[in-house]
Amino acid sequence: MQIELFNTLTRRIDPFEPLRDGEVRMYTCGPTVYDYAHIGNMRAFLCADLLQRVLRVVGGYEVRWVMNITDIDDKTIRGSAPGSPLWRPEMGEQTDDPRENLRRYTSFYEQAFLEDIERLHIRRRDLSAMPRATEYIPQMQDLVRRIVERGFGYIAGNSVYFDLSAWQAVAPYGRLLPIDLASIKPGARIDADQYERQEVTDFVLWKAWKPGEPYWDFELQGRQLPGRPGWHLECSTMEHELLGLPFDIHTGGIDLRFPHHENEIAQSMAGYGVDPTRFWVHNEFLEVEGQKMSKSLGNFFTLRDLLKQGIDPLDIRFAMLGAHYRSPFNFTFAGIEAARGARKRVQEYIYALHEPAPDDGIHVDVAAVRERIFSHLAHDLHTPKAFAEFFSFLNATPATALSAESRREVLHFISELNQIVDVWDIAPRPPEEIPEEIRRLAEQRWQLRLQRRYAEADALRYQIQQAGYTIKDLRDGYIIERL
C-alpha cells in the first residue's frame, strides 16, 4: 500500500518512496544516556517504532533502522563528573580517568534504556544498529576536517565552529523551521549543545577540552585540539557511516527541528556535499496539564516510576499509539486506565475467536476491514482513525457470532495488526495461573507427607480444595489443578 507522510521539509503530506527499491533506511535520534529516560522521550521512540512497523507491515518494505546512543555531550559529561548526584553505586567507584568514568556512567543508563524499550515492545531485533557516539570519534573528526577544508568551519580558542555566514552565502539555513536570518550575529559563537532560535549563531563542531573532562586527541591544520565532538556532529557522522547518504527518513521529537536537525543538514551538506535525507518526520510532545513533559520542568515520570505503581508498560504503549503522532499526547492516569480496558477487550475478543464456532456462524468481509484500517495507517500513521475503525468492527461483530472460517480470517488479520501494535497475545487463553498462596500450601503439604505427618497433610489438602484446587500426587512430586 502507498505510504504517505507529513514531511517537515515540505510542510505537507507527501507520498513516500524509498531511494532504493524495497528498502527503507531510517535514522532516529536516540537517547542521551545521562539519566533514566522519561515517558515523554519514550513517546519519540514509540512514534519511530510505529513508523518503521507501518513501513514493514503496510508498506511491505524492508527497513534498516538505526537509532544512536548519545554517550558524549554536555549532560553526560556533567553527570559523570566527580560528585555528580546522578552517579550511582552500581556504576562502581569513580576512577581518575574521566573517559572511563563516562563509559561506566553512560553504559549504566544505556542498559536501563534498553530494558525500558524492551518493556515497551520496541524490539532490539528491529534495530539494525544502535551506534554509540564514542565509537565513531575518528569519523567525526573526519567530518570536521571536511567542513573546514571546504571553507565552512574554523578554529577559535581550540574549538572548531561551523561558519554560518559562509554557509548562508551558498545554501539556505532554516529549512525545517523558518529562522529570522537578520538575527544572526556575525562572528558570534555558541558552545552549548542545546540552544534557542533567538541564539542562532556559529555552532560548535568540536569542543576544546577543559580540565577534568574526557577528551580525544585531534590534529587539525597542524594544531593539537584535544576535545570532543559537538552533539549535532555526532548524528551527521553516524548516519553517513551506518546508512549512507542520502537516506530515506529521519525522525525525532519536534524540539529537535532546531537547532539539532537544522545543523545536521548544514553539516552533512557542507562536509559530505549531500543533503542527508528527504523525509523529516517529527513527533509532537507528550504533555502533562498542557506542558511538555521534561526534566527541567520537573513534571516527568520515568517508565520505572509507572511500573512501581503497577502499570503495565503495554497499556502505556497502547495509549500512546492511540494518539496521532503529530498531536500532543496528554498524559493522565485515567487515559492509561482507559487504554487498559480497551486493550483487554481486544484480548478477550481474541480468546473468544479460539473457541469452537456455532454451525450457523456468520461470515464477515475481513479483507474490506483490513483495507480500511491499513489505509488509515498508510495515510500519515493515522492510528486514531485506524483504532476507531477497528473497535467499531469489534463492536458490530461479536466473536461468538462468527463462523469458523471468519474466525480464522479475523484472527489472521488481528495478528497482522499486532505486528504493528504489538500489545496482544494471539494464542488461545493460557491455562489459569495457580495463585501463590495455593502453591505454598501444596508445597507445605508435600513436605508434611514426606515426613509422614499424614493427618496434617490431609488437612491442608482439604483447605486447598475449599479454595477450588486439587492436588494429584505423583511418585516424586505433585501437580495442582483447578477443580
Residues that bind ligand AMP (CB under 6 A): 29, 31-32, 40-41, 43-44, 252-253, 255-256, 283, 285-286, 292-294
Residue 322 touches which of ligand AMP, Zn ion, none (CB < 5 to 8 A by kind)? none
| Those residues with Cβ within 8 angstroms of residue 95's Cβ, 6 or more apart along the chain or in another chain | 101, 104
For the CB of residue 20, give the shortest distance to Zn ion in the complex, in Å: 22
Residue 253 touches which of ligand AMP, Zn ion, none (CB < 5 to 8 A by kind)? ligand AMP
| Those residues with Cβ within 8 angstroms of residue 332's Cβ, 6 or more apart along the chain or in another chain | none
CA 148 from centre of chain: 34
Does residue 147 interact with Zn ion by CB under 5 A? no
Beta strand 247-253 with 159-162 is: unpaired
Distance, in Å, from the CA atom of 16 to the CA atom of 340, rounded to the nearest integer, reads 33
For the CB of residue 30, give the shortest distance to Zn ion in the complex, in Å: 7
In terms of CB distance, is 26 or 235 closer to Zn ion?
235
As to burial, measured by CB atoms within 10 angstroms (0-12 exposed, 13-18 middle, 19+ buried), residue 129 is middle
In terms of CB distance, is 286 or 321 closer to ligand AMP?
286
In terms of CB distance, is 236 or 406 closer to ligand AMP?
236
For the CB of residue 421, give the shortest distance to ligand AMP in the complex, in Å: 19
Secondary structure class of 66 (helix, strand, coil): strand
In terms of CB distance, is 287 or 416 closer to ligand AMP?
287
Length of the chain counted residue by residue: 483
Residue 288 touches which of ligand AMP, Zn ion, none (CB < 5 to 8 A by kind)? none
Q: How far is CA 450 from CA 345, 457, 458, in A?
A: 46, 10, 13
Distance, in Å, from the CA atom of 452 to the CA atom of 456, rounded to the nearest integer, reads 9
For the CB of residue 282, give the shortest distance to ligand AMP in the complex, in Å: 8
Secondary structure class of 328 (helix, strand, coil): coil
Does residue 208 interact with Zn ion by CB under 5 A? no
For the CB of residue 307, give the shortest distance to Zn ion in the complex, in Å: 28
Q: Which helix (H) or strand (E) holds 224?
A: strand 223-224
Q: Which amino acid is at 198?
A: Q
Task: Please give the residues from 380 up to 399 whose contact with Zn ion meets the rule CB under 5 A.
Answer: none
Please identify which residue in the block is written with the cell numbers 487498559.
Answer: 340
Distance, in Å, from the CA atom of 70 to the CA atom of 64, rounded to the nearest integer, reads 19
In terms of CB distance, is 32 or 267 closer to ligand AMP?
32
Distance, in Å, from the CA atom of 393 to the CA atom of 475, rounded to the nearest integer, reads 52
In terms of CB distance, is 153 or 259 closer to ligand AMP?
259
In terms of CB distance, is 68 or 101 closer to ligand AMP?
68
For the CB of residue 313, give the shortest distance to ligand AMP in the complex, in Å: 17
Residue 235 touches which of Zn ion, ligand AMP, none (CB < 5 to 8 A by kind)? Zn ion
Distance, in Å, from the CA atom of 344 to the CA atom of 130, rounded to the nearest integer, reads 33
Residue 233 touches which of ligand AMP, Zn ion, none (CB < 5 to 8 A by kind)? none
Question: ∠375-252-129 over CA atoms, to 5°?
Answer: 90
Residue 294 touches which of Zn ion, ligand AMP, none (CB < 5 to 8 A by kind)? ligand AMP
For the CB of residue 76, give the shortest distance to ligand AMP in the complex, in Å: 10
Distance, in Å, from the CA atom of 140 to the CA atom of 148, rounded to the nearest integer, reads 13
For the CB of residue 206, give the shortest distance to ligand AMP in the complex, in Å: 20
Distance, in Å, from the CA atom of 17 to the CA atom of 225, rounded to the nearest integer, reads 43
Does residue 66 interact with Zn ion by CB under 5 A? no
Residue 240 touches which of ligand AMP, Zn ion, none (CB < 5 to 8 A by kind)? none
Secondary structure class of 283 (helix, strand, coil): strand
In terms of CB distance, is 150 or 257 closer to ligand AMP?
257
Does residue 235 interact with Zn ion by CB under 5 A? yes
Residue 63 touches which of Zn ion, ligand AMP, none (CB < 5 to 8 A by kind)? none
Nine cell digits for residue 247: 537516506
Distance, in Å, from the CA atom of 414 to the CA atom of 408, rounded to the nearest integer, reads 10
For the CB of residue 243, give the shortest distance to Zn ion in the complex, in Å: 13
| Cβ 280 vs Cβ 8: under 8 Å | yes
Question: ∠31-34-40 over CA atoms, to 5°?
Answer: 45
For the CB of residue 28, give the shortest distance to ligand AMP in the complex, in Å: 8
In the set 3, 24, 29, 205, which binds Zn ion (CB under 5 A)? Answer: 29
Residue 383 touches which of Zn ion, ligand AMP, none (CB < 5 to 8 A by kind)? none
Secondary structure class of 176 (helix, strand, coil): coil
For the CB of residue 196, give the shortest distance to Zn ion in the complex, in Å: 18
Residue 285 touches which of Zn ion, ligand AMP, none (CB < 5 to 8 A by kind)? ligand AMP
Site stretch for Zn ion (CB under 5 A), options 22-30, 339-347, 374-382, 413-421 = 22-30
Q: Which helix (H) or strand (E) holds 416?
A: helix 404-421
In terms of CB distance, is 42 or 350 closer to ligand AMP?
42
Distance, in Å, from the CA atom of 327 to the CA atom of 436, rounded to the nearest integer, reads 43
* Binding-site ranges for Zn ion (CB under 5 A): 29, 235
